[in-house]
Amino acid sequence: MSASDVCYNRTTWGIVSSCLTTVFSCTWVAIHPNIPGPDETSIEIAFSRVGLMLMALIAPELVIVWAMKQWFGARRIAKDHSEHVWTKTHGFFTLMGGFMRVRGKMDVPVEVILPNAISSHLKFDEFPPITEAHIQDRSKRDAISKGLVLAQTMWFILQCLGRAIERLPITELETVTLAFTVLNLATYWFWWNKPADVRYPYTIREQPNEHGDELLEGGNEGGNGAEDRHEGRNGFVRIIVRFNSKVRVVFLSVRGLARMSQPLQRVFTIPYDILAIAFFEPFLRPVPAEGDLQVPTFYAGDLEDREDNLVAWISAPIASVFGVIHCFAWSLEFPSHTQQLIWRVSAVTIALAPLLAMGAFQFRKSRSLRCFGLVNAVFFLLVGATPILYAIARIALLVLAFKSLRSLPPGAFETVCWTTYIPHL
């Protein structure tokens, strides 16, 4: 290692700040949420974004699956409406709840328009006359702002690569951040054409009929507008009410399922049911109800079986790479042998979990119904234990990454000179 390759010392805060900036770019900035409801306040939208960021910290692979499913759905929507010169941007805009059916001169919201109803001429005056440029104009980020996020991501990857070339130690926190950056590249690739942080949908008015005036009056009295939902209730109160309602639903569902299990089985089924109902079910089955004014958080349309299989086979290896990158810290110096062992076990767990989950589902689909006894036992063991072990492993890695900052080796404070000339935050 020559003196010209390595320059001034870094500080612990410098390491932490660069990692936190990159992780923020990968969890907050990189996520492209769906359009919020017309009655949601800025506080509710901010809390929703915080929830998405926390989900991306614990299970960033779910963001990859979400982005990939929306990419397939947007491509199919663009192909179905190619005669109207629609692009994937139109498809993304439709999937994120970009078209709203309204009624009357006051444009009272009626329901969000789903992809399978976008071309219905029985309800709308004409096919939505909106161009890709108009949609991108609603986006809060353009190609330049997205490019800046990618530049920060690439700078961090090159910094880690430079340290590996110069044989300088990489901290555990930098290893965790490097895994986020790799997934961030894949997420941005799938969501490159998706508008970001769009606040209001494109409204389409119903065709008038002989009962048009009565429908308008009924809509105002029935409370379809945002006024009734806002009356006497601020954003914080509504957040608490929704959270309390969600907790009650999860509690009642888990209690009902627990009664169907044996006492010994409840030890394993209750943690799995809580994870499945509270976290995975909204992600795996985001089905909008009739009359909803927004699509669910993780809505991605209805994919064909072939597309679902592609998502599974592509996302599983990508998610596994996320865990493999954590294994790069296998031989790093840890404060204790116990922490090193926990890191190794946790890294292997998150590397194998996506492959085990996909293998369990594929095995279940390929077996005959006559083999239900053993197949169900193996399937339940893998599917039930994998999410729980994965969540524990992810939390353990994040905790160990910060705890290791208290005893870094001297080489961790050296930096590669040429990486400082690359623009970054």
Residue 241 class from Cβ within 10 Å (0-12 exposed, 13-18 middle, 19+ buried)?
exposed
Q: Convert the pLDDT of each residue in 152-197 to its tens digit.
A: 788 888 888 888 888 888 899 999 999 988 888 888 889 989 998 8
- C-alpha 7/C-alpha 379 separation (Å) is 54
Q: Are 315 and 68 in contact (CB under 8 A)?
A: yes
Question: In the prediction, which pLDDT does 213 show?
Answer: 46
β-strand partners of 9: 414
Residues of the chain with confidence (pLDDT) below 70 = 1-9, 119-127, 207-239, 241-286, 360-384, 417-425
DSSP structure string for 291-357: T-SS--TT------HHHHHHHHHHHHHHHHHHHHHHGGGTTS--SSHHHHHHHHHHHHHHHHHHHHH
φ and ψ of 413, to 5 deg = -95, 0
Question: In the prediction, which pLDDT does 94 show?
Answer: 92
Burial 370-379 (b: 16+ CB within 10 A, else e): eeeeebeeeb
